[in-house]
Amino acid sequence: MKTPVIFVHGNSDIGFGRGSTDGYVSWQTGSRELFTYLGSQGYTKAELYTTTWGPANPNMASSNNHAKKYVMQMRAFVEAVLAYTKAAQVNIIGHSMGVTIGRKIIQGGQGVDQKEGTYEVGASLSSKVKTFVGLAGANLGLVACMGGSAIPTCSNVDGFNPGLMATSGPSKFLASLNNGGKEGTNVHTIWSKNDDLIMYQCVVWGKVTSRIPGQAS
């Protein structure tokens, strides 16, 4: 049996298939292609897992954040895959907000929610993750969220607020995340200077927001 792969999609997207009625197909199109490729490499359906968190509606993107309900839903999903497959380790691929949610569910520890305050995610799962891959994440926040903390997704508590200055740091959720434990045995990121969502060559306060502290590549 190959190491199971778990996919964590981004803000307002869907795990697999076609989501909202407007035909939003960014991650789901990519996931289909990736599923097909992995199938050609010998992976079976029993080794590939995904589920939808949050509303699959791009019109609600600005209303989503790293809420407790999403973090805990995906944490339970990863634990369920581990229990079901009886695998010693899994591989996790996160996209966009799925990178930061994915990192938190692995790191465990204390989470923070703008409505519910602090909460416990659980023990670290890093020893159970062979490889973590972050696709176009915003680990240091988004320049577009600068000064926009009133919007849920740009919250300075559990959103993508990068801070008002380089020394102030990003939101509480991201600051804790970047001072947390490792996401797995191997950690890699994939990003582009031409990302049309993150923009600004993916740079926030002089650093590439898509890179994960301590990553291998």
What CATH architecture is 5-141+173-208? 3-Layer(aba) Sandwich (3.40)
CB-CB contact of 211 with 174 (8 Å):
no
26 vs 71: CA distance, rounded Å: 22
pLDDT along the chain (217 residues), means of 10: 94 72 46 82 94 90 96 98 98 97 98 97 98 97 91 96 89 95 96 95 97 94
Q: How many CB atoms lie within 10 A of CB 165?
A: 9
φ, ψ of residue 199 in degrees (nearest 5): 60, -175
* DSSP three-state, residue 134: strand
pLDDT at residue number 99: 98
pLDDT given at position 56: 86
Report the alpha-carbon distance of residue 125 to residue 6 in Å, rounded.
Answer: 14
pLDDT reported for residue 84: 97
Q: Given this model, what pLDDT does residue 23 score?
A: 40
pLDDT score, position 25: 41
Q: What is the pLDDT of residue 21?
A: 40
DSSP β-ladder status, 207-208 and 203-204: antiparallel
> What pLDDT was estimated at residue 18?
54
The pLDDT of residue 24 is: 41
Spatial contact of 204 and 141, defined as CB atoms under 8 Å apart: yes
pLDDT value, residue 180: 82
